[in-house]
């Protein structure tokens, strides 16, 4: 299991650490763990979160993706 700090994850996702803090407070974002007072994110949980946040930008893109012709 590979764990990331909030700082590391903010760099990976390109968002401020404050956004991660806000997400934790309101129940958004990837699953997190508190280990000995430190917040950590499992890379696998982050991957699941990113994949579940995926959006298709248009009907055409959806059809192309669905039909396998990108």
Q: What whole-number distance in Å separates Cα of residue 26 and Cα of residue 66?
A: 34
Helices (H), 1-70: 6-13, 17-26, 43-52, 59-67
Instruction: Say yes or no to pLDDT of 62 above 80.
Output: no
- List, for residues 5-53, the tens digit of each pLDDT value: 999 999 999 999 999 999 999 999 999 999 999 999 999 999 999 999 8
């Amino acid at each position: 299991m590979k764990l990331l700090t909030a700082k590391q994850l903010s760099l990976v996702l390109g968002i401020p650490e404050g956004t991660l803090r806000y997400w934790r407070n309101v129940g958004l974002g990837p699953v997190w763990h508190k280990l000995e007072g430190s917040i950590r994110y499992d890379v696998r949980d982050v991957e699941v979160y990113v994949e579940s946040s995926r959006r298709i930008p248009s009907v055409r893109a959806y059809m192309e993706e669905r039909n396998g012709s990108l």
